[in-house]
Amino acid sequence: MKISVIVTTYNRPDTLKKVVQGLLSQTKSPHEIIIADDGSSRETQHLINELAASSVLCPVIHVWQEDKGFRAARIRNLAIKKTTGKYIITLDGDCIPERHFIEDHLKLSKEGFFFQGKRVLVEKNFSKSFVFQNTKEKIRLILQAIRGEISNIHHIVRIPFFPISETKKLSGIKSCNMGFFKKDLYAVNGFNKDFIGWGREDSELAVRLYNLGLKRRGHPFMAICFHLWHGENDRTRMKINDKLLQEQIDSKAIACKNGISKQE
């Protein structure tokens, strides 16, 4: 099954480079990498050109939109329309995939479900030097956990035989590491572009996928990414986005009105 990875980014070429290099160093290569660029400057464009030129087996494709504030839902829709794979993984441009990431997503994919992956938080001082995950970095993360600097270190242990969870809960939904069959994303009309600013566009999508009849799969020890530290995003629109989410929960609708079908 061909897997397309959509990597969302905005003016963080240093972390984006590490993420793409991680994707190009997998035990199973993705079919393509789509960079969903929410208005970055030319520095990011130059980096993506370099990455695309050096990647022979896996195309690296740049999808850009004008910088008009945080519009992750819109740029993800633009990227979805560019994908050619049957299965889509969304990953943030500051989340470095563990080397089994694509292999694990493929193993955990199942018709009638979408997948919610886990992340390990990498603290500020370590984020600058953190590159593709290896044994030395695992040890450093464990030491951080012992010092109480991170709390979800258990995810770094890969245990494929651990039971897979299935649920319809909204807690824990994070689009920085999710997997979907493309047909399901089109069935619900993709992300809702009414969401502007940080927050809740991923939860609202999950509500519509549940309304479609899907359930969510999860696994604490597979398909892990390492989330590099960044400052807190602007949350001035959280009340508006919370209201949009609640309206969707109340409506029980499957498809949003302002999604892929109305994408320019």
Q: What is the CATH number of the domain that holds 131?
A: 3.90.550.10
Written as one string, the DSSP assignment of 149-203 is S-S-GGGGS--TTSPPEEE---TT--TTEEEEEHHHHHHTTSS-TT--SSSSHHH
Count of the separate structural domains present in the chain: 1
Residue pLDDT, tens place only, 59-83: 999 999 999 999 999 999 999 999 9
Check pLDDT > 70 for residue 114. Answer: yes
| pLDDT bracket for residue 158 (50, 70, 90) | confident
Closest CA to 208 of 181, 190, 183, 194: 190
Q: Which two tokens stand for residue 134?
A: 């290896």
Residue pLDDT, tens place only, 141-154: 777 777 766 667 77
Check pLDDT > 60 for residue 236. Answer: yes
pLDDT of residue 143: 79
Q: Which two tokens stand for residue 13?
A: 């070429």
> Which range of residues forms the domain containing residue 20?
3-262
pTM assigned to the model = 0.94
Comparing 11-20, 115-124, 182-191, the range with the smallest average pLDDT is 115-124
Beta strand 3-9 with 32-37 is parallel
| pLDDT bracket for residue 263 (50, 70, 90) | low
